[in-house]
Amino acid sequence: MEMPRVAAALALALSLIFVSMAGQCSGQLQFGFYNGKCRDRNGFQRDVEDIVKQKVKARFSTDTTIVAALLRMQFHDCFVNGCDASILLDVPNGEKTAPPNLSVRGYDFIEEIKTEIENTCPGVVSCADIIVMATRDAVSESRTGWYPVQTGRRDGRVSSAQNVKLPSPSIPVPQAIAAFNSKRLSTIDMVYLLGGHSVGVAHCGLFQNRLYDFKNTGNPDPTMNTTLLKTLQTLCPQNSNSNNSANLDQDPLKSSSVDKSFFEQIRLGNGILEVDQQLALDSNTRFSVARIAGSNDFSFQFGRAMIKLGAVDVKTGKDGEIRRRCAAVNSPSGNSGRNIFNIFG
């Protein structure tokens, strides 16, 4: 089958599946919500999703790491107060200031997209929807299948560091499952979403505890592949404050694309983060990991999980607003935030 036909079939199948799931969303999200709603100053209709797509395409051509950055941003936004772009707000003691978010980046890029859309059809498109659309398009640029996203979210007005409670890189799998379940995401949703770790890097501080004195045993984590262990010990010497990083997907040919390679690698003991490695070992998830590693439908299922993530506790109607600037509540002022990157919470 020709690739365009495959892509079309995938998009149609996903659309049909998620139209049937609309009742599970918080509020009334829609596929194609912005169709016909954006007209430029000359009265011509503009395709909002195409504007976002072209901006992402241009950014990806010079910075492939934007895929991991946006995946992380969407996760961190949706897991705290729902998918409402509250992570973007520059307010005292806002979500940006919480330790897990100090290394999130991409704020400037979302603001860049927002500015272009505001210059075309002001007051129409939410920052929350821009995050979800841009993340989808970045994933697609990384050679992963395209998936449709529902839109119609409004932006939240509240952003507090105290609300930021994200799963840590060393969280036990059962606790991770409980955290995802609390957001109405199933265990298999969680497994696929953690497949987002097929792109991006982790710095030494997030896994160094596994290399020398794992859980106060005086020995390295026994679940780690010995070849990988030696490599990481060289990269991150004991008792050092090295800021070196390692690819989360240890297949060098696939570490820049969102694909099933991550699951193949953790089955070989090549998980960098403790939670990633435990996915392949825990009785709750190991069979799913094995199935995904041997499957041909990763892109479809990953897209399905991302759409469910994008529907977590969204705000619609009077519950939110359409910001003029993503960094500020109903204000044209504000800056676009930090631009540094790490991975996970």
Q: What is the Cα–Cα distance from 237 to 228, expressed in whole angstroms?
A: 14
List C-alpha distances in Å: 44 to 37, 125, 133, 333: 11, 17, 22, 29
Residue 30's DSSP bridge partners are 151
Token pair, residue 287, equals 């069979």
Which of these, 249, 302, 314, lies nearest to 277 by C-alpha position?
249
Residue 213: left if φ>0, alpha if ψ -120 to 50, beta else—which one?
A: beta
- From the number of C-beta atoms within 10 Å of its C-beta (0-12, 13-18, 19+), residue 43 rates as exposed
Strand locations in the chain, DSSP E? 30-31, 150-151, 201-203, 245-247
Q: What is the Cα–Cα distance from 10 to 181, expressed in whole angstroms?
A: 27
CB 293 within 8 A of CB 264: yes
- Write down the catalytic residue from 53, 55, 72, 76: 76
CB 265 within 8 A of CB 244: no
Cβ-based neighbours of 63, under 8 Å, separated by 6 or more: none
Cβ-based neighbours of 96, under 8 Å, separated by 6 or more: 87, 88, 89, 90, 102, 104, 107, 159, 337, 338
76 is a catalytic site residue: yes
Q: What is the Cα–Cα distance from 77 to 30, expressed in whole angstroms?
A: 20
Name the amino acid, one letter, at 105: R
Active site positions, annotated: 76
